[in-house]
Structure 1
Amino acid sequence: MKRALLTTTLAAAAAIALAPAASAGTVHEICAQDLYVRTQPAGVIIGTLYRGDHFELSRYSPSGDWAEGYAMGHVNQRGWIQAGWFC
């Protein structure tokens, strides 16, 4: 009984941890004070988003640490940002 409960609990926790908080194709507001837009995950900086700017999410990196999409505002181009900074 305890083993089944532990297995179920761990499986549920893993599913929650791996699921991205936002879905692709949606526009999200940035909550970070400033956030670099890059050419690829941890790549060259091509712009900066600021709190209140918007980002149209296309996909997450396999690790879930980076989000790829269109950076709106003065950046106005596709790029990668660190995930986890949407309001």
Structure 2
Amino acid sequence: MNELSMNTLNIVSLAVSFGVLIIGLVAWYFVNRASVRASEQIALLEALLEQQKRQSALLRRLCEEKAPMSFAMETDNARDDEDGLVRLVAER
């Protein structure tokens, strides 16, 4: 009878060990999956940041090129206003 309780105790101990192992593996899977997804999101955000920096640099260059032209357009508009010409956009 003593041998029967020792065998049962060994089996229960083994079952608990396997249960803890399974729970640990499942927890590791979800933590690892979340970590990989976070890493992918960080990589995408870094790529987005790089594209925004390029767009900002391009926009600055375009604004610098347009600045002299806008001054010339303002003088032309002032001349048109002095002539009494008013330009209207037809509505549909």
More helix by share: 2
Whose relative contact order is higher, 1 or 2, with alpha carbons under 8 Å and at least 6 apart?
1
Q: TM-score, normalised by structure 1?
A: 0.31
More strand by share: 1
